[in-house]
Amino acid sequence: MMNNKKLIIGSHVQVSGEGMLVKAVEDTISYGANTFMFYTGAPQNSQRKPISSFRIEEAKKLMKNNGIDIDNVIVHAPYIINLANKNSPDNFASKFLIQEIDRVSKIGCRYLVLHPGSHVGAGVEEGLKTIVKNLNFVFENDNSNVIILIETMAGKGTELGKNFGEIKYILDNVEKKDRLGVCIDSCHLNDAGYDVSNFDSVLDEFDKIVGVDKIKAVHINDSKNVKGAAKDRHENFGFGELGFETLIKIVYNPRLIDAPKILETPWVEDLPPYKLEIEMIRNKKFNENMKKELLNLQGK
Ligand code: FE
Ligand code: FE
Ligand code: ZN
């Protein structure tokens, strides 16, 4: 009964320039995708254009006419937000997150993906406590329906959220539990030491500790590094250490069928690979010449 459900797939797209969200939807359509993920501005800074410049209504119309359900469209919070840092000046991270949630709510999306943060030397326990304290503050000051999806991380540096126990700690200790979910990232799981080639047992473990129903989005990236490398360098779908078959099993896993699958794979030179990657995924057939074909298509 689950197999006739439609695959929900898309990629990271840019929201910038004149086109803003309209351009993001146009790019999505050109990739043969039916959802997308975006940052509300540059991921590495906190400068944001006014919400009036996002062209929300035009974009929604375009989504509707092309079978893109806005409930499947994901926003990613900028990675400068570090809720695990006790010494964030004037509580900058939490305050910026509150503004970000407000933008997401005005755009009309349901889910905001957030990196849990890095403890920057304070230690795991201290860092996790700080995250919980800051999330409680955020939810005290925001009454929207936006759900924050805590992303599973690679464990680079002092990153938290590198194992399911740390994710559980956050979900268990935040007061407004209905405001939280999880986004898993296949590259990060691998880099954090999980054997994703045995994905069903990874999901079993997640289910025991956190609950598989909490997973509302899936980042489907290959990894440039071996299991446990704690590096976080994404590779194109099927071209890395995970490989095509493993990634396809993740994409089509029946337990995750309702979660949007999002590619955050690297561009090939200056070209987005998503159209060709989505083609491979829909055909369930690896195209080892994908990168070459992409460059040829553009006359390079
Ligand atoms: Fe992320
Ligand atoms: Fe990710
Ligand atoms: Zn990553």
Burial environment of residue 12 by CB neighbours within 10 A (0 to 12, 13 to 18, 19 or more): buried
Per-residue pLDDT of the chain (300 residues; tens, 9 = 90+): 445 689 999 999 999 999 999 999 999 999 999 999 999 998 888 889 999 999 999 999 999 999 999 999 999 999 899 999 998 888 999 999 999 999 999 999 999 999 999 999 999 999 999 999 999 999 999 999 999 999 999 999 999 999 999 999 999 999 999 999 999 999 999 999 999 999 999 999 999 999 999 999 999 999 999 999 999 999 999 999 999 999 999 999 999 999 999 999 999 999 999 999 999 999 999 999 999 999 998 776
| Whole-number pLDDT of residue 89 | 82
Distance (angstroms) between ligand 1 centre and the Cα of 148 equals 12
Identify which ligand lies nearest to the alpha carbon of 154: 3
Half-sphere exposure of 175 (CA within 13 A, CB side): 9
Identify which ligand lies nearest to the alpha carbon of 113: 1
Identify which ligand lies nearest to the alpha carbon of 184: 2
Distance (angstroms) between ligand 3 centre and the Cα of 65 equals 32
Identify which ligand lies nearest to the alpha carbon of 114: 1
Distance (angstroms) between ligand 1 centre and the Cα of 76 equals 7
Reported in sequence order, the residue ranges of 63-109 that DSSP labels E, i.e. its strands, are 74-76
Question: What is the sign, positive or negative, of the torsion defined by CA atoms of 220, 223, 227, 231?
Answer: negative
pTM value is 0.97
The structure tokens listed for 5 are 């459900």
- DSSP conformation class of 218: E
Identify which ligand lies nearest to the alpha carbon of 217: 2
The structure tokens listed for 214 are 């909490």
The neighbourhood of ligand 2, an ion, using CB within 5 A, equals: 185, 219
Distance (angstroms) between ligand 1 centre and the Cα of 151 equals 6
Identify which ligand lies nearest to the alpha carbon of 223: 3
Distance (angstroms) between ligand 2 centre and the Cα of 299 equals 31
Burial environment of residue 269 by CB neighbours within 10 A (0 to 12, 13 to 18, 19 or more): exposed
pLDDT in tens, 236-259: 999 999 999 999 999 999 999 999
Distance (angstroms) between ligand 1 centre and the Cα of 296 equals 30
Distance (angstroms) between ligand 1 centre and the Cα of 185 equals 8
Identify which ligand lies nearest to the alpha carbon of 231: 3
Distance (angstroms) between ligand 1 centre and the Cα of 202 equals 19
The neighbourhood of ligand 1, an ion, using CB within 5 A, equals: 151
Identify which ligand lies nearest to the alpha carbon of 115: 1
Q: How far is CA 162 from CA 119, 128, 147, 196, 211, in A?
A: 12, 12, 20, 14, 16
Identify which ligand lies nearest to the alpha carbon of 219: 2
- Report all structural domains of the chain as residue ranges with CATH numbers, in order of start: 74-273 (3.20.20.150)
